[in-house]
Amino acid sequence: MPGLIIALVVVGVLAILIVVANIKIVKQTEKVIVERLGAYHTTWNVGIHMLIPFIDRVSLRVSMKEQVKDFEPQSVITKDNVTMQIDTVVFFYVTDAKLFAYGVDNPMGAINYLSATTLRNIIGELLLDECLTSREYINEKMTKILDEATDPWGIKVNRVEVKNILPPKDIREAMEKQMRAEREKREKILLSEGTKAAAILVAEGEKQAAILKAEGQKQMAILTAEGQAESLRKVREAEADAVRMLKQAEAQGLKMINEAAPTDEALKLRYFEALGKIADGQATKIFLPSDMANIASASAVFKEVTDKK
């Protein structure tokens, strides 16, 4: 009897252990593939689940998070027969756990081989310079091809990034020399452009200085001419004023003579005196009046006056 009790206890403990061992907890970020008698049975989502002992088994735990795989550098040959190493990084996540488990054997290895062959095909269509400057094109084309190829495996490829492109050593040295020559060329161009710009600025400055100097001389000549013209105008105005004053004086004198009402004898006498003053001058020319008769009569009058005295 005691032996039977011990056996029942042992069986009970074993049953409890078996039940506990078949209780499974599925996390938020994963799914579990369950097989029954070797065939696919179901896919467990997040929560607590129970396996049927000795019948069900967990075939695969699949992470549903986005995964990043950095594959080994691949040796590729360009269109112009240059061999180089290219390192790529693939970003993907599982969309269907069942397809991921049963679609392909070793999905990571399959993605690695598919990435290598696809990269070789793309690079084989490009020249070396195009490979070095077409990373965006390579990334987009590889992403599209890998995404289409892995869709039956329940995998979604988000993007593929070319991590590194490593040409051969001699190519790198030639590229460095070319880059150095390009930098020296740009330096010389910048220096020549700077010299040219400086010369242009100096010439512009000299031109502006010459223009300003000419403008100054022009303004000075204009002001001088205006000053001379103003001075001449004032002289002419003064002469005109003098002539007007002389005419006014003559008019005033004539007016006074007219007011005095001189006789003909007095006028002739004054005329004769004027002739005498003309004769007393130092002039080398003698002007004779056209009315000699009037002069003769004036001389007779003058004689009569003097005789009376």
pLDDT at 182: 85
Instruction: Identify the residue with better confidence: 230 or 4.
Output: 230
Decide if 49 contacts 15 (C-beta within 8 A): no
Average pLDDT along the chain = 81
Does 125 have pLDDT greater than 70? yes
| Higher local confidence (pLDDT), 8 or 254 | 8
Sequence spans of domains, the chain: 16-63, 67-167, 172-261, 262-309
Indicate the CATH number of 67-167 among 3.30.479.30, 3.40.50.720, 3.30.70.2860, 2.60.40.10: 3.30.479.30
Q: Quick one: tokens of 235?
A: 């002289």
81 Ramachandran zone, left/alpha/beta (phi>0; psi -120 to 50) = left
Cβ atoms of 86 and 166 within 8 Å: the answer is: yes
Q: Which of 31, 132, 29, 147 is nearest to 91 (CA)?
A: 147
* Pairing label, strands 30-36, 56-63: antiparallel
The per-residue pLDDT for 262 is 61
Q: What is the pLDDT of residue 301?
A: 47
Pairwise CA distance, residues 266 & 278, whole Å: 19
pTM over 0.75: no
Q: pLDDT tens across 208-249, in order? A: 888 888 888 888 888 888 888 888 888 888 888 887 887 787
Percent with pLDDT over 90 in the chain: 15
For residue range 265-291, list pLDDT tens digits in order. 665 666 666 656 555 555 555 545 545
User: Does the pLDDT value for residue 46 go beyond 80?
Assistant: yes
pLDDT value, residue 92: 93
For the cut 90, the answer to whether the pLDDT of residue 146 exceeds it is: yes
b (16+ CB within 10 A) / e for 103-120: bbeebeebbbebbbebbe
